[in-house]
Structure 1
Amino acid sequence: MPLAPTGELVTRAAAARAAVAAFNVITLEHIEAVIAGAESARSPVVLQVSENAVRYRYGRLLPLARAAVAAAEKAAVPVALHLDHVQSDELLRQAAGAGFGSVMYDAARLPYAENLATTRAAADWAHSQGLWIEAELGQVGGKDGHPPLDAHAPGARTDPGRARDFVTGTGVDALAVAIGSVHAMTTRTAVLDHGLLKRLSAVLTVPLVLHGSSGVPDGQLVAAVGGGIAKVNVGTALNIAMTGAIRAFLAAHPEAVDSRKYLGVGREAMAHEVARIIGVLRTAPA
């Protein structure tokens, strides 16, 4: 089927007090696993390509993007394509032509005024191209001369009043909020601030996004969706599943040299994790 618009999937989820799962992909095996897992769960899904993944692929966006588009068009469930954590304006401007329906523009590293102005310009351009745009806001820097704290640094939190002003000032379609999750966690020990999430949900009219969800326990994820999170980003959990399966296979088969054997095992493990996470999100109260 044709690519699904990310904005439609997320807006529909937000209206139902549910969440759509968004998985970061690096290889073709990631793409295939995410779609297989979503098909198994009979659920729409978002494929995400980050700026870091593009950098890994020699800085070339199109090869992975075209593979994602081709796979999505053959999927039995709606699949959206999202360009994630974009800091480069040059990369941002490749999004529409590469088949992406949405982007996450990441200027959270900048002081608040610069973040707002830069994101406003990115949102204006994205909307002119028909793209849905997500941004993020963590702890605002500048107090007592301290620099901005990255939105995913331990201790970073999004202030509800500042978030409301940021959304109004930038015109973004969704906001990723800092409520206790951290990128690239390999243990599921994050503790979310559900009281803060409730306050954010009360003052914001756009869908809320949770980044760094691989480190969040199932119960915390369920509570976050019930509290207003409408898009849940997952990346490291897939890499843990893939790497663990490949390590086990190679340990059991030290003679193996055919990459299809161990990559296939890794792909299957990722597909199971995708289906599992989607199942967890579905248990959230409407």
Structure 2
Amino acid sequence: MPLVRTSDLVTSARATGEPVFAFNVITVEHAEAIAAGAESADRPAILQISENAVKFHGGRVGPIAAAASAVAAASTARLSLHLDHVEDRTLLRQAHAHGFSSVMFDASKLPYGDNVKATAEAVRWGRERDIWVEAELGRVGGKAGDAHTPGVRTDPAEAAAYVADTGVDALAVAVGSTHAMTARTATLDHALITALRAAVPVPLVLHGSSGVPDEELRRAVAAGMTKINVGTALNTAFTDAVRAFLEAHPSTVDPRSYLRPARAAMGETVAGFLRNVSRRW
């Protein structure tokens, strides 16, 4: 079906107390796997393309965005297209032309005052184009310091002021998760999630969810998380499947031979997250 809007998926999820998952797209196989997993689990999902993925594709967002959109159009699942962790304002300004209904503008590396100013400008730009804007406050592990270092987690009072001053539609918060984890061993600060949910009027987003066990994710959703981002778990499934195939068939040269099981493994991973964390299952 045609792409749906990220804001619609997030609003619906928040109203029902369900999570909505955003999965990172690097290749067309990622997009196909996410669609297949969403169809299998009968759940919506967000196709999420990061600035780093755009850099991988030579700095051109159009081709991978078009491929993801085409995959969504051919799918029976409700899928949206989201541009993630955008720091480059030139890339930000391309979002609308390439079918993105949402962006995560990442000014988290800037001093607080500069973060607020840059994010407010991005939100104003998004409002003019009906683009939903997510931002980040605090430092999620794996980017700039350990997730458990004192002072890196999001402060509820600061979060409330940040949302009021920027007008963001959703807020990614630092509550103990870490980007790029390959083992699901992270523990979250559920009391902090509850406090943040009470402090801010917009949906909360959890980045670095690949390393968070299902039960921790279920508790996080119950405490107030709405959008759950997953990337590394798909890449782990992809790489493990490719490695296993090539070890068993070392003379293989046709990439379709190993991309097929890799895509299937990612699809199973997507369906697993959607089934195991949703309160419906």
CA separation in 1, counterparts of 2:176 and 2:71? 34
Q: 1:241-274 CA deviation, whole Å, 9 max, x = no partner? A: 0000111111111121110010011000000000
Q: Mind listing any 5+ residue stretches in structure 2 that lack a counterpart?
A: none
Q: How far does residue 151 in structure 1 lie from its aligned partner after superposition? A: 8.1
Count of aligned pairs between the two proteins: 276
For the 8 Å contact 2:25–2:31, the answer to whether it is kept is yes
SS in 1 for 2:103: strand
User: Could you say which residue in structure 2 is the equivalent of 1:37?
Assistant: 37
Q: How far does residue 283 in structure 1 lie from its aligned partner after superposition? A: 3.3
TM-score by length of 2: 0.96
CA separation in 2, counterparts of 1:211 and 1:198? 17
For the 8 Å contact 2:147–2:175, the answer to whether it is kept is no
1:166 maps onto 2:159 in alignment = no
SS in 2 for 1:190: coil
CA separation in 2, counterparts of 1:170 and 1:221? 28
Q: What percentage of residue pairs aligned between the two structures are identical?
A: 54
CA separation in 2, counterparts of 1:16 and 1:150? 34
For the 8 Å contact 2:215–2:277, the answer to whether it is kept is no
Counterpart AA for 2:105: Y
1:238 maps onto 2:243 in alignment = no
User: Could you say which residue in structure 2 is the equivalent of 1:48?
Assistant: 48
Q: 1:55-92 CA deviation, whole Å, 9 max, x = no partner? A: 01110100100001111111101110000000000000
SS in 2 for 1:77: coil
Q: Are residues 254 and 68 of structure 1, via their aligned partners in 2, closer, same or farther at CA, if it must alter by over 3 Å?
A: same
User: Could you say which residue in structure 2 is the equivalent of 1:91?
Assistant: 91
Counterpart AA for 1:6: T
Which aligned pairs between 1:11-160 and structure 2 lie closer than 5 A?
11-138=11-138, 150=144, 153-155=147-149, 156-160=152-156
Q: Are residues 284 and 116 of structure 1, via their aligned partners in 2, closer, same or farther at CA, if it must alter by over 3 Å?
A: farther
Tell me which of 214, 217, 221 is aligned to 1:221. Answer: 217
User: Could you say which residue in structure 2 is the equivalent of 1:282?
Assistant: 278
Q: Are residues 206 and 87 of structure 1, via their aligned partners in 2, closer, same or farther at CA, if it must alter by over 3 Å?
A: same
Q: 1:20-72 CA deviation, whole Å, 9 max, x = no partner? A: 01000100100000000000111111000000000011101001000011111
Tell me which of 246, 268, 273 is aligned to 2:264. Answer: 268
Q: Are residues 52 and 154 of structure 1, via their aligned partners in 2, closer, same or farther at CA, if it must alter by over 3 Å?
A: farther
User: Could you say which residue in structure 2 is the equivalent of 1:142?
Assistant: none
For the 8 Å contact 1:106–1:136, the answer to whether it is kept is yes
Q: CA RMSD of the aligned region, Å?
A: 1.4
User: Could you say which residue in structure 1 is the equivalent of 2:198?
Assistant: 202
User: Could you say which residue in structure 1 is the equivalent of 2:174?
Assistant: 178
Counterpart AA for 1:215: G
TM-score by length of 1: 0.94
Q: How far does residue 203 in structure 1 lie from its aligned partner after superposition? A: 1.1
